[in-house]
Amino acid sequence: MEEQKENSDFEYVGFWARVGAAIIDSVLVVVITWPVLFKIYGQEYLNAHNFISDPMDFVLTWVFPAIAIIVFWYYKSATPGKMAISAKIVDARTGGKPTTTQLIIRYLGYYISTIPLGLGIIWVAFDARKQGWHDKIAKTVVIRPKKQSSKDKKGIANQALMP
């Protein structure tokens, strides 16, 4: 994939774009789960100091988001946040669709990436292929179409005008 990158129409997606995508995804999860949690537990849920209140809380706050994210990755190669920035997750070796096992490993890798003060997530900013530890563990990369510079756009426009 690394050799293909230079000759392809894709680029690796960097840290800040991925942070933006994660914010979109987090807001969507909150918008979907909080009304249900509030309906079940009421105002007390907001004041509770429990990490997990009961099995239903665990399902709604941990299991449901995990399944939803993995399903989006499987069918769309991206979450809604990644789709908003035209990014997708691909196999780092082939550039093709990752396997279900890779996607599950990638999801679990997020926990490993966040344990040491988020260093595995921040790693995206410094890595040549913009891989976080979760990407490295799962052998995936996040890519999107290259943005055309205004110079490239002019060249294309000029070529279109030439006979």
pLDDT in tens, 115-138: 999 999 999 999 999 999 999 999
What is the spatial order of strands in the sheet that 140-145 belongs to? 10-12, 140-145, 88-91
What pLDDT score was predicted for residue 124? 97
pLDDT tens-digit readout, 81-100: 999 999 999 999 999 999 99
Distance CA 36, CA 131 (A): 34
Please report how the helices 15-41 and 64-76 are oriented relative to each other, as an axis angle in degrees rounded to 10: 140
Residues 6+ apart with CB under 8 A from 156: 148
User: Cα–Cα distance between 80 and 82 in angstroms, integer?
Assistant: 5
Percent of the chain exceeding pLDDT 90 equals: 71
Could you tell me the two tokens for 70?
A: 């993995």
pLDDT at 58 over 80: yes
